Amino acid sequence: MALKNKYLADLLETVKKRNQGEPEFIQAVTEVFISLEPVAEKRPDLIEAGVFERIVEPERQIIFRVPWVDDNGVTRVNRGFRIEFNSAIGPYKGGLRLHPSVYLGIIKFLGFEQIFKNSLTTLPMGGGKGGSDFDPKGKSDGEVMRFCQSFMTELCKHIGPNTDVPAGDIGTGGREIGYMFGQYKRLRNEFTGVLTGKGLTFGGSLARTEATGYGLCYYTEEMLKANGKSFKGQTVVISGSGNVAIYATQKATELGAKVVALSDSNGYIYDENGIDLALVKQLKEVERKRIKEYVNVHPEAKYTEGCSGIWTIPCDIALPCATQNEIDEQSAKTLAKNGCYAVSEGANMPSTPEAIDVYFANNMLYGPAKAANAGGVAVSGLEMSQNSERLAWTFEDVDGRLKNIMKEIFKSCDEAAKEYGCEGNYMAGANIAGFLKVAEAMKAQGCV
């Protein structure tokens, strides 16, 4: 799809020139600009206030060296990033990704999307993202700890509970957040809610671990309900087998669905009896093993090498929960051909633009990442509130608030889509609703 609005088309050209070699960032901006065309037509005041130009330029980009010593005494060097993208509605907020594929373009696309996602949660959080090309896979606990301590030694100069509050993402879970929190506290001599996703004994929130996967299912259930459907009795395929995938599997199953497949970057398992989640948790959360080990316990299940084949499994609902661009045009066509009628995104930007076109061409329900996976950062926002009042809420309290937030997010997407003439297009609805709140704040605060 090409941009028709001349102002946005020209601005997109500038963004492309300024951010060469960062295709994921350009992809994210292009999608948002396409959605915002009716807003640009209706709101010349926002163009006059330079909101569009300003929102695509990060407020601050920090890139730093992360030296650490491995178990053999060898010095290793990684690159660290923190993109403080937008603070119009609150302190920068967003996760830290630790994966060898990390470079500036990945962190910028994630930080850009985080602005709109955080706005949709209704909580006061700006957009940010960070990470490193460090690969925690195959590293000892000691190596991971030394990396995290070195990473935080630089990062601590830029973050704070009222400035910038990082959290987890791919490769960054409870272990990594614990090491980073310990180092921040030691360097600053401050016990504050500077990170979210902390352990429950030092300021973490109940239900944060479950939040993204649960929230994805709450959002998806709302979307299904609005279209006369539900998870009950449906066959679901979920990619990934990390934090988001595991708790999406749990909640979808609780809501009456049968989840038949999970994956990792090496391959996927298909278990037509429904995934044995206790086993997956043991393998992935405790033993840090590969998903193929599943078939050692369940020989009736099938393991296939290569992760993209998972989209050839017939299903009613697909929940991509691994990584960006994991569903391409061909996979989307296969899903549609096999009768899949809904795709809802736990991962960030898991569908290529061509795949999204296929969803719309086939009248599939499409839950876009910014809205559908906002439950994780929403509960991070609730963790910040608990840290500020030095209290810990119950699981039921946090989970109840999460459910309400996800319902409200669906409602905002649905209503914005209707108001701007694209009913049923929740991607446009999410981009418009998320953008407008930030844009009003940017306009009100003047040219900063």
Which residues here bind ligand 2IT, judged by CB under 6 A? 93-95, 117, 167, 169, 196, 348, 376-377, 380
Would you say 126 and 91 are in contact if contact means Cβ atoms under 8 Å apart?
A: yes
Catalogue the E-assigned strands of 153-239: 164-167, 235-238
CB-nearer residue toward ligand 2IT: 95 or 178: 95
Site for ligand NDP in 260-279 (CB under 6 A): 264-266
80 sits near ligand NDP (criterion: CB under 6 A): no
CA 117 to chain centre: 9
Binding partner of residue 94 among ligand NDP, ligand 2IT, none, CB cut-off 5 to 8 Å per kind: ligand 2IT
**Judged by CB under 6 A, does residue 171 bind ligand NDP?**
yes
441 binds, among ligand 2IT, ligand NDP, none (CB under 5 to 8 A by kind): none
Judged by beta carbon, residue 161 or residue 174, the one nearer ligand NDP is 174
Q: Whole-angstrom Cα distance, residue 368 to residue 226? A: 16
CA distance 219 to 378: 13
Q: Which of 114, 212, 344, 425 binds ligand NDP (CB under 6 A)?
A: 212
Amino acid (1-letter code) at residue 231: F
Kindly state the smallest distance separating residue 117's Cβ from ligand 2IT, in Å: 6
Token representation of residue 61: 């980009």
Q: Which of 117, 129, 198, 437 is catalytic?
A: 129
Pick 47 or 277: Cβ nearer ligand NDP: 277
Residue found under tokens 């899949």: 340
Match 């239900």 to its residue by tokens: 207
* Contacts of residue 212, Cβ cutoff 8 Å, sequence gap at least 6: 243, 244, 247, 248, 346, 373, 375, 376
Residue 96 to residues 14, 40, 118, 164, 278, Cα–Cα distance (Å): 28, 32, 15, 12, 27
Tokens of 298: 């369940």
Q: Which of 106, 145, 170, 319 binds ligand NDP (CB under 6 A)?
A: 170
How near is the Cβ of 426 to ligand NDP at its closest, in Å? 17
196 binds, among ligand 2IT, ligand NDP, none (CB under 5 to 8 A by kind): ligand 2IT
- Of 54-62, 235-243, 426-434, 439-447: span binding ligand NDP (CB under 6 A): 235-243
CA dist 106 and 417 (Å) reads 28
Establish whether 117 is a catalytic residue: no
Binding residues (CB under 6 A) for ligand NDP: these are 99, 101, 168-171, 173, 212, 240-245, 264-266, 307, 321-323, 346-348, 373, 376
Question: So which residues are the catalytic ones?
Answer: 129
